[in-house]
Amino acid sequence: LTCEHTIIQVVTILDDRRKKVHTEQWQMYSLDGIDIPLNLQGLRQTLKQKVAIAIPQSFHGSPDIGKFDAENYAYYTLPVMSTGFNFKYNASKLFVTSGRSEFVVKEGLKREWNLWHMDNLAQLLALVINELISKGATPNMIYKFVPDASQIRNSMDECIFNSFKSKVESKEIRLFYTSQGKWREKENIWMNWNGLHDLLPEESGRYLINPKLRKYKRIFESYGINEFGLRGFIDYLESRYGTDPHHTKQSEDPERIRKIFEYLERQIIESPLIERLRRICILLTSEGILRSYEYGVYFPTDEEMPLISKDDILHHLTYSTKSALKFLKDKLKVKKMNLHYLIADSFIPR
């Protein structure tokens, strides 16, 4: 992989007397010395091949696609036809039609040759991205030129995209920047834009795209990243905290439990999911043990009841905000402890 910075002066002829001149900066990445496979040697191409992509640069050295001109036909390692991507591409040899307006896509070995080079270009793009990430490139720099399905303009674009996507699927590229601030391969990667990144720890084995990258949602969807919704979060709570309140000694930070309640209050939760939540041990008692709604956990009474166990009463820090309290009262239907519940729990074995 080689890299060079190139400055191109573009001259636009407006009419017989006027012309417009502007300067463009490009970062050129190339892969040299590519051997021609045996099945393509019938085309009598003998030189080792080279592929290159060019990324437009601002004067500060970061990708600058705001002024990117998809119709700009520069010929030094740039393409002979327009592309929908935010970078340009070319190879040592690409077969085009007689009018040089389109790449050959329907003619035997020439078509196979072009497809082979599209594969080489996808490999080059993967190397460039891994190289930039290793050098500390920001997610915004990377995602400005990562191709997505909506940018495909022609069959060659499609070949590059599909080949690059296959490399993402085979985990050759760490393309996804998560809420933990790490680049990860495509494995257990999800999108969520409504606050779950604070509640889904790294040890859960589920990794959420950094919430600040929502503007690149179309890219993530192009690579098969799905939304992580309420049902998935309830699955996680069940696996994390369990549904057996009688034998658990598990505890949790009351602030974390409060945040879970606050998140759940913001969601529209259907009855079957409410029933699932009632069976999960997400109610932290004053004794510091996680219990479930079905176990029998209550808000404290206004008057003193010496016989009440701390294991029957909710930890006050878990409902210290209005939204957490509202979830417990309105959705989970947790009640305030009274004499009736005290007597009932005294006779019903746990």
| Exposed/middle/buried for residue 211 (C-beta within 10 Å: 0-12, 13-18, 19+) | middle
Q: Can you read off the two tokens belonging to residue 18?
A: 């006027």
pLDDT of residue 257: 97
Q: What's the distance, CA 281 to chain centroid?
A: 30
* CB contact set of 162 (below 8 Å; sequence gap of 6+): none
Q: Can you read off the two tokens belonging to residue 185?
A: 């391969």
Taking only the tens place, the pLDDT of each residue in 111-155 is 888 889 999 999 999 999 999 999 999 999 899 889 999 999 888
Half-sphere exposure of 108 toward its Cβ, with a 13 Å CA cutoff?
6
Q: Contact 65/151 with Cβ under 8 angstroms?
A: no
Averaged pLDDT, groups of 10, the chain, 350 residues long: 75 75 81 90 85 73 48 45 80 68 68 89 93 92 92 88 96 94 95 93 92 96 96 96 86 96 96 96 95 91 70 94 97 83 52
pLDDT of residue 10: 67
pLDDT of residue 247: 77
pLDDT of residue 42: 84
> What does 65-134 look like in DSSP terms, one character per residue?
-TT--TT----SSS-SS--SSSSEEEES---B-TTSSSB--SSHHHHHHHHHHHHHHHHHHHHHHHHHHH
Residue 68 sits at φ, ψ, to 5 deg, of -70, 130
